[in-house]
Amino acid sequence: MAYQKAAPPVHTRGMFINDVFSVNFADLEFYISDKCINTLGDYQQLKEAADGTKAKIKVKNPETQITYEKYGHTSDANDYFYCTMFYGEFIQFQRNGTAIRIKVGQNESRHSY
């Protein structure tokens, strides 16, 4: 297993994770239990910023008055894990771009963009 010197770029790892979820890039499948409410909340509520990164909106706790990012940390941790655990597939994604699968009848075609 490879160890990364720095976190993978936010935009690239986001595209990789999205492709795994949407088209099973490299035949990967990630499952999230319905008991993982923080993770599900992150993936359902977190928005994409204009530059392709995560739009981490800051909110203030009314009791403590401490400002924090409501969404983003759980998905960041998952991103780091997925990109490290499936490093070869992540590198393949970076080299080939987004995989789009088009199914027609019995045939399946893969295109990279």
pLDDT, residue 97, reads: 65
The answer on pLDDT for 46 being more than 50 is yes
Q: How confident is the model at residue 113 (pLDDT cuts 50, 70, 90)?
A: very low
pTM of the model: 0.73
Under DSSP, the state recorded for 109 is E
Beta-bridged to residue 99, according to DSSP, are: 112
Encoded tokens for 6: 């720095």
Closest CA relative to residue 73, chosen from 46, 33, 34, 44: 46
Q: Using H for helix, E for strand and C for coil, what is the string for 51-108? A: CCCEECCEEECCCCCCEEECCCHHHHHHHHHHHHHCHHHHHHHHHHCCEEEEEECCEE
For 42, residues 6+ apart whose C-beta sits below 8 A from its C-beta are 71, 72, 73, 74, 75
Please compute the mean of the pLDDT values over residues 41-61 and round it to a whole number: 92
Other beta carbons within 10 angstroms of residue 8's beta carbon come to 18
